[in-house]
Structure 1
């Protein structure tokens, strides 16, 4: 399997302290520097608008009065146009780099999230569906980065411009500004008072959306079972209840987020009464300052724009509060970066030579599910580079237990040596360098085929698709490898889900592959194709431990470990047919039934 970097794939930049939002801002300091420079210039330049508006009104009045000519109006309009073009150019620069910052932050968060879940402890993974968990977390990443984008944008579009407008207003009449702008803080106070309401409403909405997603997946994934057992009506009622709750929570969250906006605007604009009354007194010479028509128009325009910005800033608080809810949900998943294992070629180069030291050497192994008595005892076998060893037995004989034990997820007694070192002495990074594992459940996330295979790591996916016999299926999809697979792979068939999980396992395959029932949901023809690809991997120096209840291709394996009553019998397929009646019976039954256990 090639580990070459895929064209167009950016290198991964681990985020220091990924559970701190400040880390993501620091990582994008170059973009934020340009945002700061262009943002300050752009928003400071916005005060030119009210100034020129006042000058244009005064010029028009002077033309009507005969004190100015029309060319003066043209010169003033041309200067105004030039200033507007400059300001809008700065705005484009600022918005481009703000969006770039948001995109890079989203990518960094997703990379850290993927890495955390890829290295999730198997015991924790068994307690929750990682695919569903990742789908919900990615949605929270989107909300969080959108909040960060709005915060960064409004810091300049509201913060800097408010300071610029206030400076302009104070320069015209500081007493009037104190009176009229005094209502603006009330809009912020209103937003602050509603903060808990907004936070609670959005948290309830997120929780309801999660329950609805789970109910949808349950209803679709288990539709046949519910239909067979006559539970359709019951499950439909449960789904309708979840849907009704979701609609109610969505409406409530939308109400508290958007309804107060006109109220904020009205509060901030209340000061216009003072501007109209006292500003007109300034024009007539009866106020605190002597104004001409240009000064009054400039002040009125600047105040209106400042009040509008102030009310928008109050709404920003609601967006930030939504982002805080999402961040609180994904923060526990943001673990320190675990470096990916070296390329398979590098690991294979250090692998034991075939015929000498085995990749996996198991002696007198005993293991059990947590809280239970040992299910397997006295197992001894080995897997060398180039070999495929099959493990089988009756239902619940311990195949998956063996796989998880060899993965280092469960305690054991006896000896398990991986590349010459005891398994319990190896860290997670060392295990990842030597082991590739495919579990019984696909655990797909709601993303594209490519993202499900790469899991945030670079590399070409086509070789992995060929190993899983999925390349032709993907080629026929509308967006090919960029096709979304849906929540937990719901848009794929059961066989495609299993093969996508296999492709993920074989992507940058490690020297030893442990595959738990890779043929469970595929037909005989596809099974033959996949096995041929696995045999080719073995020829390249990989060792493969194949846990399967399907025995159709077991005659082609190098060794077979048959599990029965907690013990293991290790031999070739032909020898087991002669010496083990239970194995012979299962094989013969499957042969008569076309290779499937029914």
Structure 2
């Protein structure tokens, strides 16, 4: 039966990992991110300056009312100036809303452009790529939140403060000194308050986590707790943890209240103190003109950014740490998929003197591995945990480059193959049968628009068709983290995904890890049937029934492959005759 070609993703071309016009590399997206942040900073700065001018216009309007209308009492002048005040207030509100909407749009665009390339870069990392990808998403969200939040606007507001202090200096140097002193006091109080509050919140969260863990443990062992009369002792411990959490939380709230009150007092001193200072200066013969009113009206705008400095500093530190992590991730990215869609006639897999060592490891995990998987032959690899079986399979499918040697599919290096085209020829079942959200049909179709004929054929090949049709919605059944599929059913769907479009080579990592005895026998029959139909199969397992289904069994020990001992005969139904009792052939 001819292999069915998988449909290419929309907008995808060989060697190009772009999606929707996004950059192909994480480094490229970080370069764009710098430009986006620069645009956001300039946008915020210019709007901040216009807002400051609008605020100054509002202040001038109020001063004019005080200076012109009060002595004359002219109602028409008052009406005209009131209109000007209303316009200034409306401009302030409109510009502030425009700034928030603009920053929100910029932050969403930045997150949308950064997320996919950086997560893909994290997925290529060695080790726990799921943790790296999760951290990358959290870092992108941290940047988005800070770009749209008060951090950037607070920085711009603080940049405008020197201009306002220069305006106060124009009236009298004492106003500028007074404003600087209050800014310094507000900054110190805000930073100290943030530190005290954060420390208390950390203690409260730790105590709460201990309480939650204690309750979870008790729920898991509810019968033992009840049978052994541990309820009262458990409740006493729970109450003690709750008291610790509540005490720490009260400390955080008290610290926050006191600091908030102190900052409010500083702001009040700013307005009232400016008036007192103006009175003292006037009494000593200083000509300050309208300086008292200007200082009183501008003082809150000068002190405001510094009262928020503590929270902004913490947010800024978090955003900077996220940026550095993403920058390091982008620098470690191997770059876009520049592989080639080689022709594949037989899908003959050959490993030539493959060695692999983790970075910094004292010894190699794999050493001079020689392996050949011929079409129509099933090769099983056994070995203890940590022997390197999974790494060997990842090298076979081109996800990991060997430290030495090479792995070839029909004479072409698997690591140089274009990934989408490679998936047409090689199906891969990882040890963890993770299925993303979607329907069963979408999962089997590898998240492309399902070709139902190919989907049903893959399910039939995986011996999962009857299981899928028995689901509540059949192929339309949604797959979620806590959905209707058991671990064994998920593995069978993942196997159907690997067999989608009927690849010529099937690579499976512990395919029976979540299967019961019946599922194991189904898998044995599947291996024998597919190899009889000409498909090459490479898999790892320690189960005798699966090892007996292979044409060759190799043992991975000490980083090298060697023929495995004879597999004892396994009773059970077969389709092509038992292969039990066979010994492994040569590794190459």
Shorter-normalised TM-score: what interval? 0.5 to 0.7
| 1:16 maps to 2:12 | no
CA distance in 1, matches of 2:475, 2:256: 42
Match of 2:432 among 434, 441, 445: 441
CA distance in 2, matches of 1:410, 1:491: 36
CA distance in 2, matches of 1:526, 1:55: 89
Please name the residue that 2:151 is paired with.
151
CA RMSD after TM alignment: 6.1
| 1:104 maps to 2:109 | yes
Match of 1:360 among 338, 345, 349: 349
Assess if the C-alpha contact under 8 Å between 1:31 and 1:101 holds in 2. Answer: yes
Q: Secondary structure at the match of 2:450?
A: helix
Flag the 1:577–1:195 CA change in 2: closer, same or farther, 3 A: same
Please name the residue that 2:3 is paired with.
none
Flag the 1:362–1:42 CA change in 2: closer, same or farther, 3 A: same
CA distance in 2, matches of 1:157, 1:91: 12
| 1:515 maps to 2:512 | no
Q: CA deviation at 1:285?
A: 7.5
Match of 2:563 among 560, 567, 578: 567
Assess if the C-alpha contact under 8 Å between 2:395 and 2:401 holds in 1. Answer: yes
CA distance in 2, matches of 1:228, 1:38: 64
Q: CA deviation at 1:28?
A: 4.3
Please name the residue that 1:595 is paired with.
none
Report 1 or 2 for greater relative contact order, CA contacts < 8 Å, sequence distance ≥ 6: 1
| 1:139 maps to 2:138 | yes
CA distance in 1, matches of 2:122, 2:226: 34
Encode CA deviations 1:453-485: one digit per residue, 9 max, x unaligned: 99xxxx9544399568889579555xxx8xxx5
Q: CA deviation at 1:252?
A: 7.6
Please name the residue that 1:289 is paired with.
287
Please name the residue that 2:95 is paired with.
90
CA distance in 2, matches of 1:23, 1:300: 43
Tell me whether 111-120 or 489-498 shows the greater mean CA deviation.
489-498
1:148-297 matches, cutoff 5 A: 148-149=147-148, 150-160=150-160, 162-191=161-190, 260-280=259-279, 288-289=286-287, 291=289, 296-297=292-293
CA distance in 2, matches of 1:464, 1:204: 54
CA distance in 1, matches of 2:174, 2:408: 82
Encode CA deviations 1:282-337: one digit per residue, 9 max, x unaligned: 7x776523546xx6444322223332333124442232234445556666545444
CA distance in 2, matches of 1:250, 1:527: 57
Please name the residue that 1:317 is paired with.
313
| 1:5 maps to 2:29 | no
CA distance in 2, matches of 1:334, 1:211: 37
CA distance in 2, matches of 1:208, 1:6: 51
Assess if the C-alpha contact under 8 Å between 1:368 and 1:401 holds in 2. Answer: no
Assess if the C-alpha contact under 8 Å between 2:355 and 2:366 holds in 1. Answer: yes
Q: CA deviation at 1:551?
A: 11
Flag the 1:563–1:405 CA change in 2: closer, same or farther, 3 A: farther
Encode CA deviations 1:131-169: one digit per residue, 9 max, x unaligned: 455445533443344334433221223432x24533443
CA distance in 2, matches of 1:266, 1:188: 13
Encode CA deviations 1:221-280: one digit per residue, 9 max, x unaligned: xx98x899999999x98x989x97998888888887886444344345434443122334
CA distance in 1, matches of 2:321, 2:257: 17
Q: CA deviation at 1:420?
A: 0.7
CA distance in 2, matches of 1:264, 1:109: 38
Q: CA deviation at 1:430?
A: 6.6
Structure 1 residue runs without a partner (length 5+): 584-598
Q: CA deviation at 1:119?
A: 0.5
Encode CA deviations 1:76-129: one digit per residue, 9 max, x unaligned: 1222222333333333332222223322343455335412321112xx23xxxx
Encode CA deviations 1:398-448: one digit per residue, 9 max, x unaligned: 96465245256596999742341466xx56x8778736644212468xx96
Q: CA deviation at 1:23?
A: 6.9
Encode CA deviations 1:347-380: one digit per residue, 9 max, x unaligned: 3xx22224xxx34235799999996998998754
Assess if the C-alpha contact under 8 Å between 2:355 and 2:403 holds in 1. Answer: yes
| TM value normalised by structure 1 | 0.63
Flag the 1:321–1:212 CA change in 2: closer, same or farther, 3 A: farther
CA distance in 2, matches of 1:23, 1:210: 39
CA distance in 2, matches of 1:131, 1:438: 17
CA distance in 1, matches of 2:247, 2:322: 19
Encode CA deviations 1:464-517: one digit per residue, 9 max, x unaligned: 99568889579555xxx8xxx5xxx46675437647866987899998653324
Q: Secondary structure at the match of 2:308?
A: helix
| 1:76 maps to 2:81 | yes
CA distance in 1, matches of 2:256, 2:495: 44
CA distance in 1, matches of 2:256, 2:503: 49
Encode CA deviations 1:13-63: one digit per residue, 9 max, x unaligned: 244388x8x87333444444433333322233222233323334556634x
Please name the residue that 1:307 is paired with.
303
Assess if the C-alpha contact under 8 Å between 2:48 and 2:157 holds in 1. Answer: yes
Report the number of matched residues.
519
Structure 2 residue runs without a partner (length 5+): 1-5, 13-17, 556-561, 568-572, 584-588
